[in-house]
Amino acid sequence: MDLTDSENLLKPEIAQHFSKIAKSKNNAFNALNTISFNGGLGILLKNVCEKPIYLYYFENAEKFNVGSSIRNLLVFSENSEATVAEIFIGKGSKNGFMNHVTEIVVN
């Protein structure tokens, strides 16, 4: 589910975990991400996932300096299992800044 949609952030299975692990109080990058994230997803896993989950992030800094704040929340229920890989790809000679936070909850 899309975490930039405020209705999804209000769902109990998301709201009870969002920003509980990556706390903003003592970490400036977590605080910046919490107030400015512009992309991200929530995965609620209830079973064993046989194939890996790949999360790709692309940043194109060919013409302009770029920046993004991505926020993900992965919630694994009891008896669920998955392999998760995050792949970051950058392109271009301009400056790029990605403030990326992924919270993983295991119930």
Query: Could you tell me the CA-to-CA distances from 2 to 15, 36, 39, 95 in Å, in that order?
Result: 13, 15, 8, 27
Q: Is residue 51's pLDDT more than 80?
A: yes
> Collapsing DSSP states into helix, strand and coil, what is residue 15?
helix
Tell me the per-residue pLDDT of 54-104, one tens digit each, with 9 for 90 and over: 999 999 999 999 999 999 999 999 999 999 999 999 899 999 888 999 999
Q: Is residue 38's pLDDT more than 90?
A: no
Residue whose token pair is 């949609």: 5
Query: Could you tell me the CA-to-CA distances from 104 to 13, 14, 42, 59, 101 in Å, in that order?
Result: 13, 12, 10, 23, 10
The structure's pTM equals 0.83
Q: Is residue 2's pLDDT more than 80?
A: no
Q: How far is CA 22 from the centre of its chain?
A: 11
